[in-house]
Amino acid sequence: MEKLNLVLSKEKILQKIKELAEKIDKDFNNESLVFIGTLKGAFIFLSDLLRYIKNPNIQIDFVRVKSYGMSDTSSENVILTKDIEIPLEGKNVIIVEDIVDTGLTLKYLYEYIKKFNPKNLKICALIDKKERKKFNIPIDYVGFEIEKGFLVGYGLDFAEKYRHLPEIYEVIKDE
């Protein structure tokens, strides 16, 4: 069994989410806006974030992109296993991602969504991992910058475990 070290408490996460929601509201006022959550990792982050958005003109959709197998190492290919269902042409769109590691997933999604000709395409990520970044995609709304480590909880998993935890932990593997 691996051990878990607390990295971000519930309070810290919620405080940051309120700040992100405020910034997004300020940038878009009451303009219509589509939030696209990346499954499965961003499901808790997106649902908490939305509860602090005051803009009444929002739509929500999900996309499922897989770039990781059942381990913690990034594989080079990205597959779309659930497509976006809302038309995005001419819309303001925000991709909501849980965590950015190499940036491969985001780069793929950004380019994929661009093809639908949105009016505006922004990225919001709860965690930006500095350690392994290969593809540098600018993130418009960042929650936390984390130097290193494999994180779980609050939607993030390790081989599908720990997604339900209300805080974020670093996984410490047994030697």
- Residues recognised as catalytic: 101
1-30 mask for ligand IMP (x: CB under 6 A)?
------------------------------
What is the rounded CA–CA span in Å between residue 135 and residue 100?
A: 10
Amino acid, single-letter form, for residue 28 = F
Backbone φ and ψ of 59, nearest 5°: -130, 155
Single residue of 151, 153, 165, 169 touching ligand IMP by CB under 6 A: 151
Single residue of 8, 45, 95, 98 touching Mg ion by CB under 5 A: 98
Residue numbers 59-88 binding ligand IMP by CB under 6 A:
67-68, 74
Amino acid, single-letter form, for residue 131 = E
Residue 26 or 70 having the CB closest to ligand IMP: 70
Residue 102 contact partner, candidates ligand IMP, Mg ion, none, CB within 5 to 8 A by sort of partner: ligand IMP
Got the DSSP string for 118-133?
-SEEEEEEEEEE-TT-
Return the structure tokens found at 18. Answer: 């309120």
At residue 85's C-alpha, the angle toward residues 116 and 152, to 5°, is 100
- Residue 45 within binding range of ligand IMP, rule CB under 6 A: no
Residues of this chain that bind Mg ion (CB under 5 A): 38, 41, 98
